[in-house]
């Protein structure tokens, strides 16, 4: 009986440890002459073991990584500018957050990736 109770309690415990990355970038942006486009993501976690000073968020486009920086004034939001060549009208990308969890005797590396995102560039 104790094992069954423990198995029933497990989903409730895991629900309290939610961590997610939310894409805040519009799916369509007007073409910019510079060729660079701002993308933004929100990090959310209820896990207390995540070390907030250890974040290394990236935007991954193909095989290229672009470091993100914190959005001023807004907590847990990160931004980066990614290049889109003038001859392209669409780019696929995703976010990757590398961070550390606090362990008993050391810090453990961890990582979370978002789902793939698509950005369409439209001519004005």
**Residues 78-104: pLDDT tens digits?**
999 999 999 999 999 999 999 888 877
Say if 70 falls within a structural domain: yes
Task: Give pTM, 2 decimals.
Answer: 0.81
Say if 8 falls within a structural domain: no
pLDDT band at 2 (very low <50, low <70, confident <90, very high): low
C-alpha–C-alpha distance, residues 30 and 43, integer Å = 26
C-alpha–C-alpha distance, residues 110 and 6, integer Å = 26
C-alpha–C-alpha distance, residues 123 and 95, integer Å = 25
C-alpha–C-alpha distance, residues 91 and 83, integer Å = 9
Residue 106's pLDDT is 77
Output phi, psi for 7, to 5 deg: -65, -35
Say if 74 falls within a structural domain: yes
- Count of domains observed in the chain: 1
CATH code of residue 24: 2.60.40.10
Residues facing 43 on adjacent strands? 21
**Residues 33-73: pLDDT tens digits?**
999 999 999 988 887 778 778 889 999 999 999 999 999 98
Q: What angle do CA 54, 56, 61 make, to 5 degrees?
A: 165
Q: Which domain holds residue 76?
A: 19-122
């Amino acid at each position: 009986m104790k094992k069954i109770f423990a198995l029933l309690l497990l989903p409730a415990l895991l629900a309290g440890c939610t961590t997610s990355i939310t894409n805040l970038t519009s799916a369509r942006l007007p073409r910019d002459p510079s060729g660079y486009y701002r993308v933004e993501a929100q990090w959310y976690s209820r896990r207390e073991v995540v070390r907030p000073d250890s974040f290394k968020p990236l935007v991954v486009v193909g095989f290229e990584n672009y470091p993100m920086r914190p959005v001023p004034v807004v907590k847990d939001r990160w931004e980066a500018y990614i290049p889109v060549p003038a001859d392209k009208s669409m780019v696929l990308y995703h976010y990757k957050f590398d961070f550390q969890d606090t362990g008993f005797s050391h810090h453990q590396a961890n990582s979370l990736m978002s789902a793939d995102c698509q950005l369409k560039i439209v001519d004005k």
